Amino acid sequence: MQQHRIVVIGAGYTGASAAGRLARRLRRQDVAITLVNAEADFVERVRMHQLATGQDLKPRPFAAMFAGTGVELKLARVTAVDAESRTVRVRGVSDTGVSDTGVPGAAEETLEYDTLVYALGSGWNDHGVPGAAEHAYDIAGRPGALRLRERLAGLRAGEPVVVVGGGLTGLEAATEIAEARPELRVELAVRGELGDWLSAKGRGHLRKVVDRLGITVHENTEVTAVAADRVTTADGTEVRAAATVWTTGFAVHPIAEATTLEVTEAGQIVVDGTMRSTSHPDVYAIGDAAMAMGPGDKPLRMSCATGTPMAWQAADAIAARLTGGKLPKTPMRYFNQCVSLGRKDGLIQYVTADDRAVNAALTGRFAARYKELVCKGAAWAVANPLLGLPTRPRPLITRERPAENTDAPLKAAA
């Protein structure tokens, strides 16, 4: 029987988790799993603000992570997906992932798939603000964080750093920089009130930490232009900035929008409760690349807290459809929002299933330790993707063996 070809594109928290979980749920002789990624190491995206401030992160090479699993890692950048011909175009990169030109064997090639797991994720979103792409720094990935790290290292005492965006990423960036470099003047520009989505306890603690770290907060402020040495706000005010850190949200990878897959206006692939594309049943989308609905019929937000459960859901659904098992029915929901406020402080805001803040919150050093455990746990889960599930892989169904679920199974052989 020909192996069922599963191609996973993107090896962030979601793609790497899905690949590992599939490898441990399905027999190696039945499936060929290829994981495509432009970097040879797993990137802990939730720690990019730490990397930017000069901290060194533990290396997590995929070669060690997937040793003995049967997952084939292909170091390449995805250049196109053809959902009709079921192919992915890729261009090889060096083993460092730094360059995709002049590398032996780096020509484009085509990968064929029977099942595609789309996990290309997202990058920073400059929202078209003039000068942001040219002059601002991002921490949406390792290249941006390293670029900011170099810039911060060259700043002198008293020079201003402006962080634009008051969401979780902006808060973590501003507090991390202020704690690591107290001699700099850190400022934070937020469109609304500081922490306006938090509970009263959460807002109060955030305000206390920001004041203690000496961060100047510009509330109800929209940045409309960025220059090399300043930002301009909607009312015409100019704020000096030796470095501008842009954290106003994420934009999904543009490749899906160029396919025949059903996508939203933002370019996210529309999926059902099993993370399966609503337009192409041989494609699954997970993480920031997918538009999935959660409690209260609200879209799940882009986050690691969302992406990893989505990866598990997709992997289990693929395995179930291939082996005739039961489809997963685990509901997606939220429990808390974890925010590091430097290395010594934090905030754990408890939320409803649909991500609305409740009165309960943890603060201070205990919250910082809690957040650190969450970060370590997220990385651990990528390398240990079964979490309480049976580890014995199941064989694929044959043409004669009916599926146990009501969904038509994917064909295991051509």
Angular region, 387: left φ>0, alpha ψ -120 to 50, beta rest: left
* Residue 410: strand, helix, or coil: coil
pLDDT tens per residue across all 414 residues of the chain: 689 999 999 999 999 999 999 999 999 999 999 999 999 999 999 999 999 999 999 999 999 999 989 999 999 999 999 999 999 999 998 655 443 444 444 678 999 999 999 999 999 899 999 999 999 999 999 999 999 999 999 999 999 999 999 999 999 999 999 999 999 999 999 999 999 999 999 999 999 999 999 999 999 999 999 999 999 999 999 999 999 999 998 899 999 999 999 999 999 999 999 999 999 999 999 999 999 988 888 888 888 888 889 999 999 999 999 999 999 887 888 899 999 999 999 999 999 999 999 999 999 999 999 999 999 988 888 877 665 455 567 788 754 333 444 454 433 322
Would you state the pLDDT for residue 408? 40
Would you state the pLDDT for residue 101? 40
pTM of the model: 0.90
Would you state the pLDDT for residue 384? 75
Would you state the pLDDT for residue 387? 55
- Are 4-123+250-333+374-383 and 127-246 equal in CATH topology? yes
The residue assigned the tokens 């921490």 is: 139
Would you state the pLDDT for residue 329? 80
Long-range contacts from 343-352, C-beta under 8 angstroms, 24+ separation? 343/176, 343/179, 343/368, 344/179, 344/368, 345/175, 345/209, 346/370, 346/371, 347/198, 347/202, 347/205, 347/206, 347/209, 349/198, 349/199, 349/202, 352/295
Which residues, including other chains, have CB under 8 Å from residue 249's CB and lie 6 or more apart? 125, 127, 165, 167, 302
Report the C-alpha gap between 324 and 84 in whole angstroms.
Answer: 25
The yes/no answer on whether domain 4-123+250-333+374-383 falls in CATH 3.50.50.60 is yes
Would you state the pLDDT for residue 392? 67
CATH of domain 127-246: 3.50.50.60
∠ CA 224-227-231, rounded to 5°: 45
Would you state the pLDDT for residue 411? 35
Would you state the pLDDT for residue 94? 67
146 phi, psi to nearest 5 deg: -70, -35
Map out the domains of the chain as residue ranges.
4-123+250-333+374-383, 127-246
Which residue type is seen at 80? A
